[in-house]
Chain A
Amino acid sequence: EAGVVQSPRYKIIEKKQPVAFWCNPISGHNTLYWYLQNLGQGPELLIRYENEEAVDDSQLPKDRFSAERLKGVDSTLKIQPAELGDSAVYLCASSLGLTPGGTGELFFGEGSRLTVL
């Protein structure tokens, strides 16, 4: 079974340019997450989707970041315009969703490493 697929793996852009990241979750996983990971830190949630609905986007900087999951499967995260401080790894994860014991296991992609010059 294929895991979570992200692209591109690496992206270098100049500040003020736009950038987009794509994620294809594991088949059948209704819940999709975008996390941001700075160097030496743990992942921080940007947005969580249940099917095509963004159910938790309170930590997404909406002035420059946007995300979509139009058909409830793959998702795109966009930054426009990018700033120097956006340099980080953007991780996508998927899961089967909530279980009786709370949030279940997350399956992560390899991440997209963004460098803004």
Chain B
Amino acid sequence: SQQGEEDPQALSIQEGENATMNCSYKTSINNLQWYRQNSGRGLVHLILIRSNEREKHSGRLRVTLDTSKKSSSLLITASRAADTASYFCATDAYGNNRLAFGKGNQVVVIP
């Protein structure tokens, strides 16, 4: 399966701490995307990183991509209670044009 696998699958941290989650995948990709989902809601796009990029920032988010290891990481700095959500990586496989989602990381930020 091309879909990403996130690690850890559950994370509990104190407000103000950083949260790091990883995603691994299996085949060549065009890009990798991260999404957030609050309980009972739809997914919201956070950031897209292309296969020729190694690092990308957006506000308190930092994403890295290592295509040689077929892995990506999402770092949320200075976490807030509002960051409590599930985070999914999604891979756009080369030649597939299908965005495949992993099982997700559940992050709980304790105020």
Residues on A facing B (Cβ under 8 Å): 4, 33, 35, 40-45, 48, 56, 91, 93, 98, 101-111
- B45 near A42 (CB under 8 angstroms)? no
User: Looking across the interface, which residue of chain B has its beta carbon closest to that of A3?
Assistant: B42
Residues on B facing A (Cβ under 8 Å): 3, 29-31, 33, 35, 41-45, 48, 50-51, 88, 90, 92, 94, 97-104
Q: For A104, list chain B residues within 8 Å (CB).
A: 48
- A102 near B98 (CB under 8 angstroms)? no
- Give complex CA distance A71, B29 in Å: 32
- A41 near B104 (CB under 8 angstroms)? yes
Q: Beyond A42-B90, A108-B43, list 16 extra A-B contacts (CB 8 Å).
A: A35-B101, A40-B103, A42-B88, A42-B102, A42-B104, A45-B99, A48-B97, A93-B42, A101-B30, A101-B51, A102-B31, A102-B92, A103-B99, A105-B45, A106-B35, A110-B41
User: Looking across the interface, which residue of chain B has its beta carbon closest to that of A105?
Assistant: B45
- Give complex CA distance A107, B41 in Å: 12
- B31 near A101 (CB under 8 angstroms)? yes
Q: Which of B41, B42, B98, B103 contacts A42 (CB 8 A)?
A: B103
